[in-house]
């Protein structure tokens, strides 16, 4: 490992170190997804809101543009940026969007391949677009009439986290692998209602193993998914110690 690490990068910690409480882990991790979002104004400009610990360099890497371009677009005299400021990080976007658009990481092979197919197969209208500046696939939810309730999980409840005070959704049900042939070193998930970019905790009910996954697309409302609450990448299933094709899990995430 080099001395520099990037936001969203998975860092392995020796097992002898105690893990932080789950609630604190989820609160800290949930912020990572929002770091990788942008909106598009009426002029077709991509706008990124600066969050703590972000630099011009890390933002330029995220959106695949040059630091000098960001400085020129925003009339910045130097590399100093303020938390909360909106920076222009790209131009020429065809469709304005006030809803945050999630930028997937460049090595998310499942995000590039399966998410596009999921967007087509899903009954909920979703627009899949490719950022001209790079090869990331981003999904923008489109307005839709509420779908009828389906029995995707045995239990679904909303509670308030005692540490952060934020609302947290807890679901229980069956999990399956996204695609047994897909090979990625990422912890990824497909879910019917959680927004793309959501970080959720998944616990295997059989052995209490826990993994944190990032939602990269919608789980289609098809017959084979009627009794499935989430589909996980092969890496995530291995982390959970799953031995069956379908296994019971508990999900929790911040809406």
**166-197 burial code (b ≥16 CB/10 A, e <16):** eebbebbbbbbbbeeeeebebbbbbbbbbbbb
- Please compute the mean of the pLDDT values over residues 76-98 and round it to a whole number: 90
pLDDT at 69: 94
Least-confidence region, from 133-142, 162-171, 220-229: 133-142
More confident residue, 158 or 29: 158
Whether the full predicted model's pTM is greater than 0.85, yes or no, is: no
pLDDT at position 6 is 78
Beta strands 126-130 and 167-177: pairing type? unpaired
Work out the pLDDT band at 18, boundaries 50, 70, 90: low
Mean pLDDT score, 49-76: 91
Strands 228-232 and 247-253: unpaired
Question: What would the pLDDT profile of 164-221 be if each residue is shown by its tens digit?
Answer: 566 789 999 999 998 766 667 788 999 999 988 888 999 999 898 888 999 988 888 8
Q: Strand, coil or helix: what is 227?
A: coil
For the chain, percent of residues with pLDDT exceeding 70:
64
Q: Which residue has the higher pLDDT, 183 or 83?
A: 83
CA distance 52 to 93: 26
Question: How does the average pLDDT of the chain come out, rounded?
Answer: 73
Per-residue confidence (pLDDT) for residue 24, from 0 to 100:
41
């Amino acid at each position: 490992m080099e001395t520099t690490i990037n936001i969203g990068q998975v860092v392995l910690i020796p097992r002898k170190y105690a893990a932080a409480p789950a609630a604190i882990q989820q609160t800290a991790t949930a912020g990572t997804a929002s770091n990788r979002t942008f909106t598009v104004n009426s002029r077709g400009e991509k706008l990124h809101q600066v969050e703590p610990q972000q630099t011009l360099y890390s933002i330029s890497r995220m959106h695949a543009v040059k630091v000098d371009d960001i400085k020129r677009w925003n009339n910045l005299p130097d590399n100093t940026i303020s938390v909360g400021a909106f920076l222009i990080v790209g131009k020429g976007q065809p469709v304005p969007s006030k809803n945050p658009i999630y930028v997937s990481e460049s090595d998310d092979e499942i995000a590039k391949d399966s998410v596009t197919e999921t967007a087509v197969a899903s009954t909920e209208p979703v627009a899949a677009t490719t950022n001209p500046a790079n090869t990331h696939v981003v999904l923008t939810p489109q307005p839709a009439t509420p779908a009828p309730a389906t029995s995707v999980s045995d239990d679904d409840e909303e509670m308030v986290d005692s540490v952060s005070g934020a609302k947290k959704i807890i679901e229980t049900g069956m999990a399956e692998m996204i695609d047994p042939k897909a090979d990625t070193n990422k912890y990824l998930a497909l879910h019917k209602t959680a927004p793309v970019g959501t970080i959720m905790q998944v616990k295997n009910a059989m052995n209490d193993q826990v993994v944190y996954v990032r939602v990269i697309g919608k789980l289609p409302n098809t017959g084979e998914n009627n009794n499935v609450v989430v589909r996980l990448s092969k890496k995530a299933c291995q982390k959970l110690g799953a031995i069956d094709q379908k296994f019971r899990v508990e999900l929790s995430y911040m809406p």
